[in-house]
């Protein structure tokens, strides 16, 4: 205590000496209070640290408790049985015209009472025909040529519609659609007219038969161009280059089918024996007057030619009737002794030219020594679908 008082006295003294303040008891007490207050404040500043701000953490969200989904009762969906398997005819099969067509299929299960097979058969471009049948095969009625599609399904009765017609519902899935084709009837050749020609002559011919169409192919040794007249008649032209021989007349359709009962023959020209004629002085005027053409008219496909000639033909002399369609030159169709000839036209509508010549020679020799020839006549023929009715005796042009 004495030490404290001594030190305290020294402090008061120091303050009084340096600040010019006289020490008094009140002042000493004031200074002591200020010193203690400063000491406490300094102690607080040097020993304490600032308090950091509080960090507030948000609690994580609560995970909701999963509620089991409610069980919904579903109405079972009815399923169809597997489809039948189509067997024959194979898809894309082609039948000849007039063939019997039987459709067949397989079913992997047995039909129940009341069930049947529903067969649909649809011609191309037409509505389908429907048949209900208990067996796995069905013979179709006679079919016209064309393309057909078909399918099969198992059905059972489902009542009647508003019109009183029976209705059916599917028991199985429908099968695939298959197709088949009924080919048109094959062409048939019955005859060709004329059936023969001399080598190097050529000319038009008429072919008669059945089931002809615009799309025919014709071959007589070589492919030939066809002119369609109707389903039983076609025409063509024999080329002059055809060699001697007998050739089948072949007619085929788009499927390469056809029948023929005819053939065409190219004959060789006969060898001529020259006839020596007595030499006579050349007359200043024609010895043989030309024939004068007349006219007999046209009936149907037949044209009647008539002419006049003031003389009588010798044994080796003939009237050579020549006919041709304008602008072609008329060529010999027949040698006759009469002054009339009926000719059947087969070249169609148009202008025709004709003339009559006096020929000396043998008809089988095919060479005419022309002694006189008439003026040329022109007529118009309007007949259609006409053909040659007989085989004329042809001469070289």
Strands (E), 79-216: 85-88, 93-95, 102-106, 116-123, 129-133, 137-139, 146-160, 166-170, 178-182, 188-193, 196-198, 203-210
| Angle between helical axes of 2-19 and 25-47 (0-180°, round to 10) | 100
Banded model confidence at residue 10, pLDDT cuts 50, 70, 90: very low
- The DSSP output letter for 392 is P
Give pTM, 2 decimals. 0.42
Residue 297 vs residues 305, 309, 346, 379, 386: alpha-carbon distances, Å? 8, 19, 16, 10, 16
Half-sphere exposure in the Cβ direction for 346 (13 Å, CA): 25
Confidence at residue 96, expressed as pLDDT on a 0 to 100 scale = 86
Written in H, E and C, the secondary structure of 360-380 is ECCHHHCCCEEEEECCCEEEE
Residue with tokens 């009962």: 261
What is the rounded distance in angstroms from the CA atom of residue 34 to the CA atom of residue 102? Answer: 133
Kindly report the CATH number that applies to the domain delimited by 292-381.
2.60.40.10
Choice among 21-30, 130-139, 276-285 with the minimum mean pLDDT = 21-30
pLDDT of residue 333: 86
Stated length of the chain: 397
CA atoms within 13 A on the CB side of 97: 13
Are 85-182 and 292-381 the same fold in CATH?
Answer: yes
The whole-number pLDDT of residue 344 equals 85
User: Domain-by-domain residue ranges, the chain?
Assistant: 85-182, 188-267, 292-381
If one compares 274 and 22, the residue with the highest pLDDT of the two is: 274
C-beta separation of 120 from 130 below 8 A: yes
Report the mean per-residue pLDDT for the chain. 79
Contacts 24+ apart (CB under 8 A), 334-341: 334/392, 334/393, 335/359, 335/363, 335/393, 335/395, 337/313, 339/291, 339/306, 339/307, 339/308, 339/309, 340/296, 340/304, 340/305, 340/306, 340/307, 341/304, 341/305
Higher pLDDT, 142 or 76: 142
Q: Which residue has the tokens 């208990």?
A: 134
The dotted CATH code for 85-182 is: 2.60.40.10
Lowest average pLDDT, out of 58-67, 114-123, 136-145, 204-213, goes to 58-67
Which of 28-32, 104-108, 258-262, 274-278 is the least confident region? 28-32
Which percentage of the chain shows pLDDT scores above 90?
43
321-374 per-position pLDDT tens digit = 999 888 888 888 889 999 999 988 877 788 899 999 999 888 777 778 888 999
Nearest C-alpha neighbor of 140 from the set 182, 86, 85, 186 = 182
pLDDT digits (tens, 9 = 90+) for 48-101: 444 443 333 333 434 445 544 444 455 555 589 999 999 999 999 999 888 899
The pair of structure tokens assigned to 280 is: 């006579």
Question: According to the model, what pLDDT value does residue 397 have?
Answer: 39
Which sign does the torsion angle of CA 135, 139, 140, 146 carry? positive
- CATH number assigned to the domain covering 188-267: 2.60.40.10
Asked if 173 and 184 count as a contact pair (C-beta separation under 8 A), the reply is no
The Cα 383–Cα 366 span in angstroms is 30
Q: What is the spatial distance between Cα 304 and Cα 323, in angstroms, rounded to a whole number?
A: 12
Closest CA to 323 of 301, 345, 297: 345
CA distance 363 to 373: 17
């Amino acid at each position: 205590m004495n030490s404290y008082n001594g030190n305290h006295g020294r402090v008061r003294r120091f303050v009084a000496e340096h600040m010019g303040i006289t020490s008094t008891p009140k002042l000493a007490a004031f200074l002591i209070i200020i010193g203690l207050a400063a000491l406490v404040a300094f102690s607080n500043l040097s020993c304490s640290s600032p308090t950091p701000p509080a960090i507030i953490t948000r609690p994580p969200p609560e995970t909701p408790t999963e509620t089991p989904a409610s069980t919904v009762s579903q109405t079972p969906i009815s399923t169809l049985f597997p489809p039948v398997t189509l067997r024959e005819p194979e898809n894309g099969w082609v039948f000849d015209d007039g063939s019997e067509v039987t459709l067949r299929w397989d079913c992997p299960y047995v039909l129940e009472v009341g069930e049947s097979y529903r067969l649909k058969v649809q011609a191309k471009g037409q509505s389908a025909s429907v048949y209900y049948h208990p067996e796995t095969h069905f013979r179709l009625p006679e079919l016209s040529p064309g393309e057909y599609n078909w399918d099969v399904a198992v059905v059972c009765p489902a009542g009647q519609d508003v019109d009183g017609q029976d209705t059916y519902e599917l028991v199985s899935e429908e099968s695939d659609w298959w197709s088949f084709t009924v080919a048109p009837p094959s062409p048939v050749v019955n005859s060709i007219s004329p059936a023969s020609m001399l080598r190097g002559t050529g000319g038009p011919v008429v072919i008669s038969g059945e089931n002809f169409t615009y799309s025919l192919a014709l071959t007589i040794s070589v492919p030939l161009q066809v002119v369609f007249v109707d389903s039983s008649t076609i025409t063509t032209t024999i080329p002059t280059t055809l060699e001697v021989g007998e050739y089948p007349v072949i007619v085929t359709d788009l499927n390469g089918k056809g029948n023929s009962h005819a053939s065409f023959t190219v004959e060789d020209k006969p060898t001529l024996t020259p006839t020596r004629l007595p030499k006579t002085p050349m007359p200043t005027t024609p010895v043989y007057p030309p024939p004068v053409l007349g006219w007999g008219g046209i009936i149907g496909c037949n044209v009647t030619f008539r002419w006049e000639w003031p003389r009588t033909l010798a044994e080796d002399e003939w009237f050579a009737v020549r006919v041709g369609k304008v602008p072609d030159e008329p060529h010999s169709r027949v040698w006759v002794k009469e002054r009339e000839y009926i000719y059947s036209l087969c070249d169609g509508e148009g202008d025709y030219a004709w003339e009559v010549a006096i020929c000396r020679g043998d008809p089988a020799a095919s060479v005419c020594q022309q002694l006189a020839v008439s003026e040329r006549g022109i007529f118009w023929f309007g007949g259609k679908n006409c053909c040659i009715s007989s085989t004329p005796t042809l001469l070289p042009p």
